[in-house]
Amino acid sequence: MSQASAVSNVRPISKGIDVGISDIDRKAIAEMLSEVTVQTYRTLLRSQVVHWNVVGPLFQPIHTLTEQHYTELFAAIDLIAERIRALGHAVPTGKAAAGLDRALSLGDRTTAKAMIEELIEDHQSIARLIREGATEAEDRNDFVTHDLMANRLAFHEKAVWMLRATIAD
C-alpha cells in the first residue's frame, strides 16, 4: 500500500503477540490503519469547517449532515486507533498534522456547493484507501481489520451519496 508505507513511525509496543498474524503482517496493517486514521482526521476537520461556515438555502441540511459526519468520524478514529493498539503498535501522531492547514481552510470554496464537492472528493479518496486496506487486511488474514474497514467503507460511500443528493439540482 503506497500511502500507508509512507507512515514510518509505526513501531511495536508489545512483544509476544500471537493471534495468528505475523509480526510483519501486523506492522503492515498498522501502517495502513495509521494512514486511514490520518485521512479520517482530516475529513473530520473539513466536515467541521463546512459545518461552521456553510450559508444559504442548504444551510440546515448541510449543517445537520456535517455534524452527523464529524461525530461519526471522531468515533471511527478511536476504533481504528484501538485496532492499531490491538495489533501491538503505537498510534503515530506526527503525520496527523500534515495537510491540516488545507483541511481547516476554506480557500476558494466559499459556496455551499463548492464546500460539499470538496467533501465528496475527500470521502471518495478515503473510500479508495479503505477499500485497498480492506483487501490488504484480508490478504494478511486479519479479518477483524477487514470487517472494520468494510464498515468504514460503508459509511464513506453513504456519505458520498448523501452529500451528492444534498447538492443535486
Q: Please, are residues 114 and 6 in contact by the beta-carbon 8 Å criterion?
A: no
pTM: 0.85
Domain boundaries along the sequence of the chain: 20-167
**DSSP letter assigned to residue 89:** B
CA 2 vs. chain centroid, Å, equals 16
Q: What is the pLDDT along the chain (169 residues), one digit of tens a residue?
A: 444 444 445 555 556 677 788 999 999 999 999 999 999 999 999 999 999 999 999 999 999 999 999 999 999 999 999 999 999 998 877 665 566 666 556 666 679 999 999 999 999 999 999 999 999 999 999 999 999 999 999 999 999 999 999 999 8
- Burial (Cβ within 10 Å: 0-12, 13-18, ≥19) of residue 169: exposed
- Would you tell me the crossing angle of helices 59-86 and 112-139 to the nearest 10 degrees? 20
Beta bridge partners of 89: 12
Query: Which residue, among 35, 129, 151, has the nearest Cα to 91 in the 3D structure?
Result: 35
CATH 1.20.1260.10 fits 20-167, yes or no: yes
Q: Can you tell me the distance from the alpha carbon of 128 to that of 9, in angstroms, rounded to the nearest whole number?
A: 23
- Grid cell 495509521 — which residue? 34
- Alpha-carbon distance 130 to 69, whole Å? 17
